[in-house]
Structure 1
Amino acid sequence: MPIETEILIIGGGLAGLTAALHLKKLGLEVTLIEKQNYPHHKVCGEYISNEILPYYNWLGLDLSVLKPNQINQLQFTSVDGNSIKTNLPLGGIGLSRYAIDNYLYQVATTRGINIFHGNVQNVAYTNNQFVVDTVDGSVYKAQHVIGAYGKRALLDSKLDRKFIGKKSPYLAVKAHYKSNFANNIVSLNNFKGGYCGVSKVENDILNICYLADYESFKKHKNIDTFQKNVLYQNKNLERIFSEAEMIFEAPLTISQISFEKKEPVLNHILMIGDTAGLIHPLCGNGMAMAIHSAKIVAELLYKYHNGIIPDRQALEKEYTQQWKALFAQRLKFGKILASVLKNNMMENIAMKTVNLFPAMLNKTIKYTHGKPIIASEI
């Protein structure tokens, strides 16, 4: 027998779990499918802007129990040895996906949200209803489906999404380390063909995560050789790696990371988090954006459920408009910033300009970050 629910969320990461918790708080019936067991590590910069804290407080979520690392400064370094440091306007926290995703999952289960483990292979929409099939043969029926399954998945191919057919040049690598790196700094370090984020998370653990050009990467025998030959050209990165001891048995890697434009709504599926759009990691705000998108979709589904939004077409139009208004310019700016930093000459010009006019760095940060997220009074 199919499992029937009002709202089905595909994906149990930050966006999916936050949306589930918000919908449950609003009294809506919600079911979530996640393909992996908790807890698990993910390739991620693991920095969250403090803009999410008012919203999480409203949801009754207390991240302080996870003892996150407090971050209030941003450092940027170039291959040529230049370095800039500034205070972060809102500040943020360092918290691993291993910790926060598992925390949200535990809270969701205690609040009675139905969470199933399975790998979705097909989503069909007919007669104003979704039928969702998983690899293990389970079938779900829902009035609404939220896509929160991350950067890319087999489902994207099934849905024939435009970005999936374009080969991406990017590879991401992440690992945790023991190190004496400063607790209050998130460090962004440019290198030829990519950039690397470094910051502490909970338990005094250092997270190092970098995005690299795959064509450059594959010229080297392995990750260690690539890091020594390419990343170490940035002397700050060489120092960070030489002073750190890896905790993981081996780094985590993902390839085919696409920053191409995605659809916030496709085949009536409401996309949130990285499933709707991925900001370049150097902007450091992907986790907050995922959480914010969950808030938007939950509030609009509540309005639809209560007749404030009259029909599905109006719901999809309103979600698309709100998503673009909040995130489209951030994604565009992120792409521009990434292209500038990939060009050595442009990077040097940018660094010299910021050194002459330090306030420009804070303006740049504001272009990729939002204001504190406050839940709407519905």
Structure 2
Amino acid sequence: MDILLIGGGLAGLAAALDLAGRGYQVTVVERKHYPFHKVCGEYVSNEVLPYLRRLQADPAQLAPAAITQFLLSSPGGRTLASPLDLGGFGVSRYALDDFLYQQAVARGVVFHLKSTVTDVAFEPRANQHRVTLADGRTLSARVVLGTYGKRANLDRQLQRGFFARRSPYLGVKYHLRLPGFPRDVIALHNFADGYAGISAIEGDKLCFCYLTTRDNLRQHGTIAAMEHAVLMQNPHLREILDAAEVLYPQPEVINEISFAPKQPVEQHILMCGDAAGLITPLCGNGMAMALHGAALAAEATHGFLSDKNSRATMESAYSRNWNAQFGARLRVGRAVQRLFGGPVLSEAVVATLRHWPGAVRTLMRQTHGQPF
């Protein structure tokens, strides 16, 4: 086959649509079965809309929420607000990923669902990859894209540096129903050692997703107890958690979320989305970055498969373009996260920024891209 993608999230699905549209044979290996929920903030910057429309995958038919305003609160409840220059839309991963999956199937993309990749070996003589699945099957592909998200056992097999370092962070997500919450606002509420985002998605639902630490959870024993003792110290979060109807029987949880730098190419695999680098949720732009990374990877792959470039040129061009697009955003994201690491500093930062709206908009521009 021409291309194999490991993981069928946003980056994998968009790259699959892009490359299938260019006439290539595309296969996706995904460990789950669509549709499924993911720990994700579910806000997407409008910078992605031209690309999705070129892929004939306009999300408008999913009736997403239109988001134009940003609200930030300190742990004590002090707030600042700002318009979003480009704006964005809110749609669940449950709906969006399934929509893109259905589009990909209709265009001939082959899916191996409920399957896991255990090994990827590059064969220099054949100039292709041999991919081994957990059930023992092997597949061969001229190009492999790693689109499997934040962390996977494959990272251990590839001996990626970040995998050996423990991360203190975990993420939790719910869908909520909360009448009266403004559907044009994405709100980020800080609390001790973490922050929570809430914004509207399709229907009358809200996505509520937060990042915290294992120490917070360990200290209080359960997610519910931690939310009561820690998150609800912020009055805005107390109001949300007291009044909202939770639409999940259990929250979605992911552990070991790492914001450490990663490499966009590993052992001749082009990494996309969170597998290439993860922006802090406080910056709210991970979904757009995944889609933009897919566009960069598809373009680089096309250059190689159409015999315009060598493999080495494909890899170096992709690395260079990926870092040009996202390197500064990730660095700014890590710096912003440190500003909100504790209650005292968070209060000071919000108190300062609320009187400096130009700085707020500058920070947002530095963590978002332009339409592509």
| TM-score, normalization by structure 1 | 0.96
Distance 1:349 1:77 in 2: 11
Query: Gaps (5+ residues) in structure 2?
Result: none
Alignment of 1:1-378 (within 5 A): 5-117=1-113, 118-126=115-123, 127=125, 128-180=127-179, 181-309=181-309, 311-373=310-372
Distance 1:17 1:213 in 2: 30
Distance 1:102 1:80 in 2: 39
Aligned residues: 368
Deviations 1:79-100 (A, max 9, x none): 1221011110011111000000
Distance 2:164 2:243 in 1: 41
Q: Is the 8 A contact 1:69 1:204 kept in 2?
A: no
User: How far is 1:30 from its partner?
Assistant: 1.3
Distance 1:315 1:178 in 2: 46
Give percent identity, aligned residues only. Answer: 42
Q: Is the 8 A contact 1:193 1:212 kept in 2?
A: yes
Distance 1:62 1:321 in 2: 29
Query: Gaps (5+ residues) in structure 1?
Result: 374-378
Deviations 1:333-378 (A, max 9, x none): 11110011113333233222212211111111101000011xxxxx
Distance 1:352 1:226 in 2: 26
Quick one: which amino acid aligns to residue 136 of structure 2?
G
User: How far is 1:280 from its partner?
Assistant: 0.3
Distance 1:367 1:357 in 2: 16
User: How far is 1:115 from its partner?
Assistant: 1.2
Secondary structure (helix, strand or coil) at the match of 1:356 reads coil
Distance 1:97 1:138 in 2: 29
User: How far is 1:307 from its partner?
Assistant: 2.9
Deviations 1:71-117 (A, max 9, x none): 10000000122101111001111100000000000000011111112
Distance 2:252 2:110 in 1: 29
User: How far is 1:308 from its partner?
Assistant: 2.6
For 1:376, the equivalent position in structure 2 comes to: none
Q: Is the 8 A contact 1:191 1:231 kept in 2?
A: yes
Quick one: which amino acid aligns to residue 15 of structure 2?
A
| TM-score, normalization by structure 2 | 0.97
